[in-house]
Structure 1
Amino acid sequence: MPSLNSPRRFVYASLAATIFIVYGSLYPFAFHGGSPVAAVRTLFLSDHMRDQPFSGLIANIGLYVPLSLFCVAAQNDARPAWRQVLWATGLGTVLCVGIEISQFFDTGRVTTLTDVYANVAGTLFGALLALPLTRWLDRPGDMNSPARQTAALLLLSFLACRLFPYVPTIDLHAYWRAIKPVVIHPSVHGFDVVSYAVTWTVVAALLRDLAGRRRSRWLLVAVMLAMLSAKILITHNRLSLSELVALPVAVAAWLVLSTRQRAWAGGVLAVLLGLVIVGDRLLPFDWQPIGHAFGWLPFFSILHGSMAANTQALADKVFLYSSLVWLITVAGPRHAVAGALVAAGLFATSVLETHLPGRSAEITDAVIALGAATVLGWLAVSPGTGQTAAGARIKPVRDTPPAAE
C-alpha cells in the first residue's frame, strides 16, 4: 500500500499553518510607521516572561507545533533526522522573529522576546514529535489505514479540548475545587447530559475505528476513567455532575450502536451531534427583534478577550465540527459534501445568533468546518488507491469489522 505521508499534502498543510500563524499574530493589521532598527532593538530588549500569563505561554507554544510537524513530514525521508528537525525549527524561528518585529508596527500588538522563546520551543517540540509520528503512520500495518489515522487525529483533538491547560497540579486544595461542584452544589441539566452523552458516544465510535468493535467497549470505559482523573489533576478544571450522569448513558448507547453497521451508526450519531451543536449555539432561544451585526472577519472574537477561554473554545469547536464532518462521511457523502453541509448549517445558526443576546455571530465557525473537511479529506485519500477513510476496509485487527460495513 502506498505511503499516506504524501510530501505535497504536508507542504500544503505547512502553508495553511503559516497563514494561520500570520493571521492570528498580526490581526487587526493596523500598521503604522516606525524605524526597523527600533523594532529590532525593542525585540531584543523586551522580556516580559514574568508578566506572561501561563495560558498565553501555552498558546504561544502550541501555535507553532503544527507548523514544524507538517514541515518535517513534508521533507524527504532520506534526509537525516537531525537535518529535518533543524530545518523545521529554523523555519519556525525565522517566522516567529519576523512576526515579532512586524508586531512593532501593528497597533495593539506587543513585541517581546518572551513570545520568541515560546514559539521556538513549540517549533522544536513539533519537529521532534513528527519524527516518530510520521514513521508510525507510514509503517506497513494496521495504522497505515485512512480510517484509523483519521480516528487517531480526532481523538487527539478531543484530548486537546478537554484537558486544557494541560498542566497538572499537586495542590490538594485544587483537587477539592475540581470535585466541589459535584459534592457541595450538585446540579443536573438535561441538555448538558445529552451533550456529554453524545460526545462520549462519538469518542466510542472513533475508538471502534482505531481498535475494533469489541475493544472499543472497554476502551471507552478506560478513557472515561482516565479523563475524569486527569481533569481532577489538571489545574483550573472542574467536574460536572451532568457529565458523570452522561457517562453510563453513553456506555449504554454505544453497546447498542456498536452492534449496528458502521454507516448506520455514523448517520445516527451525525444527526445527534448536529442537534447538540445547534442547541448549544441557539439555546436559550431568546429571540430579539433587533439584531446586531454579523462578523465577516474570521476568528475575530477568538483573537479578543481571554486567551485561555478562547483557546479552549477554539479547540472544542475544532473537535465538534471535525467529528460531525467525519460522521457524515461515515454515513456515505464525500468530505466536500460533508464540509459544505456542516458549514452551511453553522452559517445559518450564526445568522440566527445576530438576534440572540450575548452571542458572537460571525463566519468563523463555517470557516473551521471547511478547514476540517479539507484536512480530513487530505488524510483520508490514500495516494495511488483512491480509497478514503469512509470507504476503506480497516486492516486486520481481531474482532474489527470492515470500516465500510
Structure 2
Amino acid sequence: MPTRSRSFIPWLLIAVIALIAYGSLYPFNLKAGALNHGALDALRELSWARAGRGDRIANVLLYLPLGFCLFLWLSSHLRRSLAVFVTVTLGSLLSFSIEVTQVYISSRVPSLTDLTLNALGTLIGATAGVGWDKMGGLMQLPRRAEKPHRDPAALLLIVSWLLWRLAPFVPHFDLGKLKAALQPLVRPQIDLSSTLIWLTYWLVISQALAALVSRAHTLEALLIMMAAVLVGRLIVANQTFVPAELVALIALVPIFVLMYRMTPGPKRLLLLAAMLAAFVFERLAPFTFAGPAQAFDFWPFLAWFATGFPAAVTSFDWIEFFGTIFVFAALLWVLRFAGVSFRLAAGIVMALACVTEVLHLWLPERVASITDPLIALAVVLAFRYTQHQQRRMFTGRPASRRERIL
C-alpha cells in the first residue's frame, strides 16, 4: 500500500489504543489506599495468574489490531523486519504499563500471563500487517490516484451493509459487553456454508468500494470498512463477533487481490454466481420442505398495527430487516455489475424474491409473507434513481433519454 494512502492509520491506531485502555482499566475504580504504594510494590504484585480460555483469547485478539496498525504505520518509516521488532516491543511495553496500572484498579487481576498473550497478539497482528503489505504490492496500484467512478448504487449498497451490521445502533461500552462480543470465539462453531456466504458478502462490498474510490485507495477503503464493522460490533449492544465471518475475512484479502488481477468478464460472472448461490441459501436454507402449505400473510409489517407504533419500534427485529434489505440490494447491484440491464436485473430480483417467498409455504422454519417482496420492490425503486450513473459506469457512455425514463 503506498505511503500516501496510510494517512488514516495513525487515527485508527489511536482508536485501538483507546479501546485497549478502556477494556483493560474499566471500571476505573481505584483501590483504597492504592496510591500509597510505589512502583516497586506494584511490580511485586505481578504474578503468573492463569486466565480462563475466554480471557486468553480476548488478550490475544485485543492486541492483534494494535500490532497490525502499528506495523503499517512504522513500515512507512522503517524497513519491514525492524518495523516488526519495534511493533512487538511497543505493544509489549503498552501491555506492561497497563498490567502495572491494573494493580491500582479494583476488580482487575494484573498478570504476566496477560502480558505474554498481549505480546503474542501484537506479533500476530504485525505478521498480518506484513501479509497485507505484500498483498497490496501484488495489486500493482497506480502511482497516481485516478478519478473514481463514484457509483451511487454502490453507496446505497454500502449504507445498507452498515445498517445491517451495526443495528440496533445502541452503543454499550462496559466490560461485560466486550467479553460478550468475544464469547462466540471461546468455542467457535464454524461451518463451510456460513464462511462462504460471509466471504461472498465481503467480496461484494469490496467491489462496491472499488466502484466508489480510486484504485490507489481500494485497500485503504476496505481496511476502514473492516475496522468499522468489527469495532462497531464490539461496542454495539446485542452484537457479537461471528467466527465464520472472521475466517472469511482472513481469506478475503488474497481472494480480493486475485479477483483484482482477473479480467472483468470472468470476475463479474464469478461474483454473480457466488451471490446467486448465497441468495438462494439465505432464503431457503435448511431446505427442509414439507407439507401441508402454511398460510400466506398478505399484511406487511403486521406487528406495527397489532402492537402499536412505539411498542413495535422497540420489539421489531431491525437486524433481520436490514439484513433482508442488504441481500436484495447486493443481488441487484451484482447483476448490474455483471452487465445486466436494469430492467432485467430488477425483474430477476423481484422474481427470485416472490418465488422464494412462495417456497416458504413449505418450510416450517420460515414464514411466508408479502413483506419481503415489498422490501425487494423498495430496493429496486431506490436503485432506479441511480440508473443513469450506473449506465455510465458499466458501459462507459451516458444513458439515452429513453433509458433514463426506464
TM-score (norm 1): 0.56
Post-superposition offset of 1:370? 2.7
Post-superposition offset of 1:209? 0.4
Q: 1:324 aligns with which of 321, 331, 343?
A: 331
2-structure distance, mates of 1:301, 1:213: 45
Within-5 A mapping of 1:200-349 = 200-262=202-264, 264-300=266-302, 307=314, 310-349=317-356
Post-superposition offset of 1:217? 2.8
Q: 2:394 aligns with which of 390, 401, 405?
A: 390
**Aligned AA for 1:391?**
T
Q: 1:178 aligns with which of 178, 181, 206?
A: 181
1:145-196 CA distance string (max 9 Å, x none): 6x5222222111111110112222221111111101112x221122211111
2-structure distance, mates of 1:393, 1:222: 31
2-structure distance, mates of 1:368, 1:262: 30
2-structure distance, mates of 1:301, 1:349: 22
Cα–Cα, structure 1 residues 248 and 285, in superposed 2: closer, same or farther, change >3 Å? Answer: same
Cα–Cα, structure 1 residues 285 and 167, in superposed 2: closer, same or farther, change >3 Å? Answer: same
Cα–Cα, structure 1 residues 142 and 196, in superposed 2: closer, same or farther, change >3 Å? Answer: same
Most deviating of 336-345 and 210-219:
210-219
CA RMSD of aligned residues (A): 2.6
1-structure distance, mates of 2:304, 2:233: 24
Please say if 1:381 is aligned against 2:388.
yes
Post-superposition offset of 1:261? 3.8
- Whether the aligned pair in 2 keeps the contact of 1:282 and 1:349 (CA below 8 Å) is yes
2-structure distance, mates of 1:172, 1:320: 33
- Whether the aligned pair in 2 keeps the contact of 1:208 and 1:216 (CA below 8 Å) is yes
1-structure distance, mates of 2:230, 2:296: 38
Post-superposition offset of 1:291? 1.3
- For structure 2, the residue ranges without an aligned partner over 5 or more in a row are 1-145, 307-311, 399-406
1:71-105 CA distance string (max 9 Å, x none): xxxxxxxxxxxxxxxxxxxxxxxxxxxxxxxxxxx
2-structure distance, mates of 1:267, 1:300: 39
- Whether the aligned pair in 1 keeps the contact of 2:199 and 2:249 (CA below 8 Å) is yes
How many equivalent residue pairs? 248
Post-superposition offset of 1:272? 1.0
- Whether the aligned pair in 2 keeps the contact of 1:302 and 1:310 (CA below 8 Å) is no
Within-5 A mapping of 1:189-208 = 189-208=191-210
2-structure distance, mates of 1:209, 1:302: 37
Larger radius of gyration: 2
Within-5 A mapping of 1:4-19 = none
**Aligned AA for 1:317?**
T
2-structure distance, mates of 1:181, 1:318: 26
Post-superposition offset of 1:306? 8.0
Post-superposition offset of 1:267? 2.9
Cα–Cα, structure 1 residues 327 and 358, in superposed 2: closer, same or farther, change >3 Å? Answer: same
2-structure distance, mates of 1:198, 1:214: 23
Post-superposition offset of 1:254? 1.2
TM-score (norm 2): 0.56
- Whether the aligned pair in 2 keeps the contact of 1:221 and 1:251 (CA below 8 Å) is no
2-structure distance, mates of 1:260, 1:303: 51
Q: 1:165 aligns with which of 164, 168, 182?
A: 168
1:169-228 CA distance string (max 9 Å, x none): 221111111101112x22112221111111111110011101133432343233213321
Cα–Cα, structure 1 residues 300 and 358, in superposed 2: closer, same or farther, change >3 Å? Answer: farther
Cα–Cα, structure 1 residues 220 and 334, in superposed 2: closer, same or farther, change >3 Å? Answer: same
Post-superposition offset of 1:289? 2.4
**Aligned AA for 1:282?**
L
Match of 1:150 in 2: 153
More helix by share: 2
1-structure distance, mates of 2:147, 2:305: 40
Please say if 1:353 is aligned against 2:360.
yes
Match of 2:321, SS state, is helix
1-structure distance, mates of 2:316, 2:254: 32
Post-superposition offset of 1:358? 2.2
Cα–Cα, structure 1 residues 390 and 300, in superposed 2: closer, same or farther, change >3 Å? Answer: farther
Post-superposition offset of 1:330? 1.6
**Aligned AA for 2:162?**
L
Post-superposition offset of 1:311? 1.9
